[in-house]
C-alpha cells in the first residue's frame, strides 16, 4: 500500500525538490523537515512563516497548526489529534 503524501511533500515533488534540498534552502537539518513532514515535530513559528513565504502561501502557517478548526487532510498526523 502506498503511503499518503502530505500536502507539503506534494508541493516539494511538484517543484522537483526533495526534503534534503529544501532543508538546505531553509538552512535547517533534513532530519528536522523529515520529522515535521511525518508529524513527529512541529515547526517553529519562524520556520512555518519562512515556509509560507517561500511557497508563496501554498503551505500556509496554519497548515502545521494543531487546532482542529484548521483541518487540512494533507497535513501531518499529529496535528489532527486533539
CATH number of residue 54's parent domain = 1.10.260.40
pLDDT value for 69: 47
Q: How far apart are CA 79 and CA 68, in angstroms?
A: 8
pLDDT value for 6: 84
Our count of domains for the chain comes to: 1
Does pTM top 0.85 for this prediction?
no
pLDDT in tens, 30-42: 999 998 888 888 8
User: Is 2 domain-assigned?
Assistant: no
Question: Which residue segment(s) compose the domain that 45 sits in?
Answer: 7-80
User: Is 1 domain-assigned?
Assistant: no
Identify the band that residue 12 occupies on the pLDDT scale cut at 50, 70 and 90: very high
User: Is 43 domain-assigned?
Assistant: yes
User: Is 76 domain-assigned?
Assistant: yes
Region of poorest pLDDT, from 3-7, 40-44, 51-55, 78-82: 78-82
CA angle 39, 44, 49 (to 5 degrees): 105
Q: How far apart are CA 42 and CA 45, in angstroms?
A: 9
Amino acid at each position: 500500500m502506498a503511503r499518503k503524501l502530505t500536502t507539503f511533500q506534494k508541493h516539494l515533488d511538484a517543484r522537483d525538490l526533495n526534503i534534503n534540498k529544501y532543508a538546505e534552502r531553509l538552512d535547517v537539518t533534513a532530519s528536522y523537515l523529515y520529522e515535521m513532514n511525518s508529524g513527529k515535530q512541529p515547526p517553529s513559528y519562524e520556520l512555518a512563516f519562512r515556509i509560507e513565504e517561500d511557497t508563496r502561501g501554498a503551505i500556509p502557517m496554519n497548515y502545521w497548526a494543531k487546532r482542529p478548526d484548521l483541518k487540512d487532510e494533507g497535513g501531518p498526523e499529529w496535528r489532527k489529534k486533539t
